[in-house]
Amino acid sequence: MEFVETVFYADEITWETSAARLLISFIAGALVGIERELHNQPAGLRTHILISIGSTLVMLISVYIPQTFHSQADPARMAAQVVSGVGFLGAGAILKFGADIKGLTTAASIWAMAAVGMAIGAGMFKVSVISVIVILFALTVMNFIEKRIFSQRTLRKIEIIIKQTDSRIISIQSILKSYGVRIISTGFERNIAEATDRFTFIVTITPSLDVQMLADNLGQQPGLLSVSVEFIR
C-alpha cells in the first residue's frame, strides 16, 4: 500500500511516478481506441493511445519544470496548448462523403482523451477513471440508444421527369412519403418543346429504404419517363 501511494500519488514527479501514469494513460487510451476500432473509425486504437500518452507526457513536463527548476512557470500553460492543438488532429478524423459527414464522434473522443491524458499526468486518477467510464458509456450505450430512438438518415436528390399531361406533384409526394422519405425542398422545371416536367426533390432517407422498390412504384405513375436517386456532392 505504501508503495502504491509512493508511486501513484506522490507530489514529486520521478521516473517511477511518470512510468506509472504513462501506463495508466496507455490503458485508458486503449479502452477508448478499441471501441472506435470496432466501429471502423479512421482514428482507432493506436491513435487514441498516442493521444492519451502524449497528453500525459505534456502534463508531466508541465508539473516537472517548476518543481525541478523552482521557477514560477504555470503548469496550465502547456496544457492549454494541448487543448487547442489537439483540435487540428481531431479535424483530420472528420471525413465528408458527398453530403454526409463522418467522424465527428471520433474527433470528440480524441479531444476528450487528450483531457483524460492531462488529468492522468496531473495525478487525478479517480477523475480519470470516471471520465473513461463516462466516455465509453457515451460511445457504446448511448450509441445503441441513439440508433433505437433516432433513425439515421442521409441526404439524397430524387429527380423525376414526367409528361406534362400527367404531371401530378401531389401524387408523387404521396408515394415518397409512404416510403418514409422526408422532402426538404422541391424544384420544378418545365420543358415546353418536349412537353415534360422535371421535379427535383432534396430528401432524407433511411439506410433501410429499398430504392429500387421506390423507383418501381413511381414508375407506375402514368406518363413517367425517368426517375433517378443520387448522392448530393
- The 10s digit of each residue's pLDDT in 122-148 is 787 888 888 888 888 888 887 777 677
- The C-alpha atoms of residue 230 and residue 71 are separated, in whole angstroms, by 62
What is the model's pLDDT at position 74? 65
Q: How far apart, in Å, are the Cα atoms of 14 and each of 23, 53, 223?
A: 14, 16, 81
* Statement: residue 100 has pLDDT above 80: no
* Residue 198 DSSP SS3: strand
Model confidence at 201: pLDDT above 80: yes
Dist CA 135 CA 112 (whole Å) = 8
> What is the reported pLDDT for 196?
92
The percentage of the chain sitting over the pLDDT mark of 70, rounded to a whole number, equals 78
Mean pLDDT score, 214-225: 87
Compute, in degrees rounded to 10, the torsion defined by CA atoms 82, 87, 89, 91: 180
pLDDT at 97 over 60: no
Nearest to 219 by CA among 155, 161, 173: 161
C-alpha distances (whole Å) from 36 to each of 118, 135, 143 are 20, 11, 12
Q: What is the mean pLDDT of residues 9-37?
A: 81
Instruction: Dump the DSSP string for 136-194.
Output: HHHHHHHHHHHHHHS---EEEEEEEEEEGGG--HHHHHHHHHHTTPEEEEEEEEEETTT
Mean pLDDT across the chain: 79
